[in-house]
Structure 1
Amino acid sequence: MNTAPATYPIGTPGTPWGEEERAEWLSRQTRHRSYESEVLSAIGRLSPRFDVQEYGRLEYGSDVYPLMAIRSREWHEDLPVVLVTGGVHGYETSGVHGALQFIDQHGADYAGRVNVLVAPCVSPWGYERIHRWNANAIDPNRSFHDDSPAEEAAALMRLVAPLRDRVLLHIDLHETTDTDETEFRPALAARDGKPFEPGGIPDGFYLVDDSENPQPEFQQALIEAVEPVTHIAPADDKGELFGSPMVARGVIQYPLQKLGLCAGMTDARYRTTTEVYPDSPRATPEQCNTAQAVAVCAAIDYALAHRQ
């Protein structure tokens, strides 16, 4: 795995970025892939079987992105809601395509049992540029709170607000990649004027539970379901995954709402964030997408079986 540079090429070490540094950072971002051809086209193909809606539009200069959600066609007001989100960090590819694979291959299996709502690509600008942040150098996945500075987060919260009290399960699909260590964490430290502290990248799949509302049996059900698809990340020599104590096999905990994370945006009883490792020589893109879809199905099956 490549190591991070000693200093980030933008800004002055120890000094948070101002407008000049943010502008320089933005000038270095280039489009690598197409949201329209890779994501919107796939959503369009689902429209004969599911309801598709535009829940907002992002405008960054001349770039305009419709934000799209996919809903169960047979929506029943007396059923609980399952919320599936992907691409909150746009560069995390299997979050987007795993969400689409789930709804395409398995979404209809839950008709009449739950209402499924999928937002497969929350951050399309980041998807196209294979980046963690939005165009304002803001991390959407730290922005799910009142007066959010990220329109990606604010738009999704507006979509979910009328359903917030009915969400039984929210599963947010992510990846941990080698570039977290070589680019995104160094950029974060530089942006905030803090020292970069090198860490390790877990080799395998893991989950982030909510430390304020832990559901250990639920998390382990997902780990067991995903293991036949891709390997589970072992703890490092400190007993940690990505700097956090491993509380159970393949599981760490964060205070989801306190940190403004997407998975904490509702009061759902069952909440989790998946973390797939696409840079492993033991995992293919197809395995990563399938692992995400399998995790969603396992999460729904568990939530329905243990619904109170």
Structure 2
Amino acid sequence: MTATAAPYPIGTPGVPWGEAERAIWLSRQVRHRSYHDDVVKAVERLSERFDVEQYGQLHYPPDQYRLLAVRSRNWRDDLPVVLVTGGVHGYETSGVHGALQFLDQRALDYTKRINLLVAPCVSPWAYERIHRWNANAIDPNRSFRENSPAEESAALLRLINPLRGRFLVHVDLHETTDTDETEFRPALAARDGKPSEPGLIPDGFYLVDDTENPQPAFQRAIIDAVSKVTHIAPPDEKNQIIGSDVVSPGVIQYAMRKLGLCAGITGARYTTTTEVYPDSPRATPEQCNAAQVAATCAAIEFALNA
């Protein structure tokens, strides 16, 4: 779908937000669901089979959130490390629940061959409010860099820093939704004092590869696996998906580290960002979660057999 060009209701067009505009924006955010009920309780149940650790705590008064990671037991220094991240954008529901479903249903299939580290919900405040940003109107997925302005990003970087050089795979689980065009991109333009450029949301699953470390066979293996679960996004008339050239069916590329993206944090040989489309009339929430699981399994299997 394409977006309408209505002015964003906060701020003055062409003028970046100040503290007053950010305060107005924050006052309008509403909690819709519970991180504790949906994520913390699920992670606590997983503690029977995995090691669970708190790697940080977010303070957004009056709310506080424990940041939780799940590790495979019997961690071995001679095994490669696989990182799975979900909920970097909290509103992208299947990223969170796909990571939890992978842990519950498939992760033990691999833990004799890899060390597994999963952060299922990187942005819990945004998860509860079904939002892209954190409480400071900052996008964590543009903030994975030194001296990050987003504590969600900084905490994850601290978690993975001791493991640098050992990562084989990083799968970052995301969604592209209709609200990207109707809310989040217009809000971004308003926040930064820039014009809002309407775009097209692709109908289907796609992947983002790393421009600086392209792994085309790896991406194709994931697309092949996911195509058995849900449909793959076709390119538009310019042979693009969300404004980027399609390099193979269902695959585009971004400069991960330059853009401060989560998928660029590990230096792993094999990295990808999944993008599920939950608003498609051809996809159910169950299919979206299953697509994230299928992508994660295919990524691990490809890397182990390469």
Above 0.5 in TM-score?
Answer: yes
Q: How much does 1:31 deviate?
A: 0.1
The CA distance in 1 between the partners of 2:26 and 2:129, in whole Å, is: 11
Matched residue, 2:75: 75
Superposed CA deviations along residues 250-278 of structure 1, whole A, max 9, x for unmatched, are 00000000000000001100000000000
Matched residue, 2:300: 300
Partner SS for 2:137: coil
Amino acid at match of 1:24: I
The CA distance in 2 between the partners of 1:111 and 1:147, in whole Å, is: 33
Matched residue, 2:194: 194
Partner SS for 1:49: coil
Amino acid at match of 1:244: S
Residues 56-67 of structure 1 correspond to what in structure 2 (within 5 A)? 56-67=56-67
Contact 2:2/2:200 (CA < 8 Å) preserved in 1? no
Contact 1:4/1:186 (CA < 8 Å) preserved in 2? no
The CA distance in 1 between the partners of 2:45 and 2:2, in whole Å, is: 39
Matched residue, 2:6: 6
Amino acid at match of 1:228: K
Matched residue, 1:157: 157
Matched residue, 2:113: 113
Matched residue, 1:183: 183
Contact 2:5/2:198 (CA < 8 Å) preserved in 1? no
- Whether 1:134 aligns to 2:134 is yes
- Whether 1:48 aligns to 2:48 is yes
Superposed CA deviations along residues 74-106 of structure 1, whole A, max 9, x for unmatched, are 211111000000000000000000000001111
Amino acid at match of 1:4: T
Q: How much does 1:14 deviate?
A: 0.3
Partner SS for 2:158: helix
The CA distance in 1 between the partners of 2:4 and 2:69, in whole Å, is: 36
The CA distance in 1 between the partners of 2:295 and 2:88, in whole Å, is: 17
Matched residue, 1:173: 173
Residues 223-234 of structure 1 correspond to what in structure 2 (within 5 A)? 223-234=223-234
The TM-score normalised by the length of structure 2 is 0.99
The CA distance in 2 between the partners of 1:11 and 1:208, in whole Å, is: 32
Partner SS for 1:58: strand
The CA distance in 2 between the partners of 1:273 and 1:74, in whole Å, is: 28
Q: How much does 1:5 deviate?
A: 4.5
The TM-score normalised by the length of structure 1 is 0.98
The CA distance in 1 between the partners of 2:135 and 2:94, in whole Å, is: 21
Matched residue, 1:218: 218
Amino acid at match of 1:79: L
Equivalenced residue count is: 306
Q: How much does 1:4 deviate?
A: 3.4
Matched residue, 1:125: 125
- Whether 1:145 aligns to 2:134 is no
Residues 5-24 of structure 1 correspond to what in structure 2 (within 5 A)? 5-24=5-24
Q: What is the identity percentage for the equivalent residue pairs of Structure 1 and Structure 2?
A: 73
Amino acid at match of 2:171: I
Q: State which drifts further: 3-12 or 249-258.
A: 3-12
The CA distance in 2 between the partners of 1:176 and 1:74, in whole Å, is: 36
The CA distance in 2 between the partners of 1:274 and 1:207, in whole Å, is: 5
Contact 2:141/2:153 (CA < 8 Å) preserved in 1? yes
The CA distance in 1 between the partners of 2:31 and 2:164, in whole Å, is: 34
Q: How much does 1:2 deviate?
A: 7.1
Matched residue, 2:204: 204
Residues 85-96 of structure 1 correspond to what in structure 2 (within 5 A)? 85-96=85-96
Contact 1:126/1:132 (CA < 8 Å) preserved in 2? yes
The CA distance in 2 between the partners of 1:297 and 1:47, in whole Å, is: 21
Matched residue, 1:272: 272
What 5-or-longer segments of structure 1 have no aligned partner?
Answer: none
The CA distance in 1 between the partners of 2:4 and 2:188, in whole Å, is: 12
Contact 1:5/1:182 (CA < 8 Å) preserved in 2? no
CA RMSD across the alignment? 0.7
Amino acid at match of 1:259: L
Partner SS for 1:8: coil
The CA distance in 2 between the partners of 1:266 and 1:300, in whole Å, is: 15
Contact 2:143/2:153 (CA < 8 Å) preserved in 1? yes
Amino acid at match of 2:130: I
